[in-house]
Amino acid sequence: MTTRPPSPWDQAAIRSADARKQENTGRRQAASPAGAERPSPRPEGGNRQELRYYGLNAVQAVFAQRPQAIRKVYLSEARIPQLQPLLAWCVKQRIGYRVVEESDLGKLAASSHHEGVVADVLRVEAQSLPGWLRDLSAGPALALWLDGVGNPHNFGAILRSAAHFGVAAILQSQDSTLAMSGAAARVAEGGAEQVPLVRMGERDDAIAQLRATGFTLAATVVRDGRDLFATPLPQRLVYVMGAEGEGMDDSLAAACDLRLSIPGTGAVESLNVAAATAVFLARWSAGANAR
């Protein structure tokens, strides 16, 4: 009989705190100042306080939620009718926009998935955990703690699911290198503007603050967890999702109140972290709506 290798999620038992620290250090050294992706040089020289968003829904979501953050817009001629409200606003606010060729949009976005529009947008600073908890309404609430998740496409897919299911925040540890990027915003299809990012302080303090405000922490694992669909979920819950390759830190998994697993056939090792997140969110949402 063969033994299956540990799942990327289920490596909490073999991943040490020192290993995690080294991984994060390596990510910081490899990351560009603007985040995970490396956009092409900007005609105006670039700005660390800005991101280059691309994709129709991503740009329209910024315009709907925080138009004052838009600094410049590039679009194809074919998008002019659809983006008339944005262009009229740019004229009124004296924000520059430029009609360019599709090939130029590809260079500006450093991607072929620009969907005919690119925009330079001011970054949103992450909130502090105490500030977020202070402003959070009473009653049911769901948050995601992303432990080491770094792939921008997975991050974008998680943001999209989080917006769909009404997640109150994405929580990040103080040493996390995860940052918003144009790729993540495009995949999120507008979700990046709906879910706040919260930067936590020292881990034990963060856990204590979350528990003090009624949150239960649930580590998500592939095996040896309680059946997600047979376990009653609390009204205020934080799902802790591990990294794509390394899994979550072993001590963090041990510090959680629950260990939850998604039952399956076993035909594949595990779900992608973004797909699994959607399943976990849907389960909590169904229970919250039934209360």
Are 170 and 143 spatial neighbours (Cβ–Cβ below 8 Å)? yes
Give the 3-state secondary structure of residue 120.
strand
pLDDT at 287: 78
Of the candidates 188, 62, 199, 193, the residue with the CA atom closest to the CA atom of residue 143: 199
pLDDT at 274: 95
Of the candidates 93, 97, 96, 115, the residue with the CA atom closest to the CA atom of residue 105: 115
pLDDT at 177: 84
Give the amino acid at 90. C
pTM passes above 0.75: yes
pLDDT at 224: 85
User: What contacts 195, CB < 8 A, 6 or more positions away?
Assistant: 159, 162, 163, 167, 168, 169, 170
pLDDT at 246: 65
pLDDT at 148: 80
pLDDT at 174: 87
Name the H helices within the chain: 17-30, 56-65, 84-93, 102-109, 129-135, 152-164, 182-188, 203-212, 250-255, 273-290
Q: pLDDT tens digits, the chain, 291 residues: what are they?
A: 444 344 333 443 334 445 544 544 454 444 433 333 333 444 333 567 899 999 999 999 999 999 999 999 999 999 999 999 999 999 999 999 999 999 999 999 999 999 999 999 999 999 999 999 999 999 999 999 998 888 999 999 999 999 999 999 999 998 888 889 999 999 999 999 999 999 999 999 999 999 999 999 999 988 889 999 999 999 999 999 987 666 678 889 899 999 999 999 989 878 899 999 999 999 999 977 655
Residue 226 to residue 157: CA distance in whole angstroms: 25
Number of CB atoms found within 10 A of residue 32's CB: 12
pLDDT at 18: 56
Q: Set out the domains of the chain in order of their start, with CATH numbers.
A: 50-122 (3.30.1330.30), 125-290 (3.40.1280.10)
Give per-residue burial for 96-123: e unless 16+ CB within 10 Å, then b: ebeeeeeebbbebbbbeebbbbbbbbee
pLDDT at 238: 98
Task: Enter the tokens of residue 269.
Answer: 């090792």
pLDDT at 242: 86
pLDDT at 123: 93
Residue 227 to residue 245: CA distance in whole angstroms: 23
Give the 3-state secondary structure of residue 242.
strand
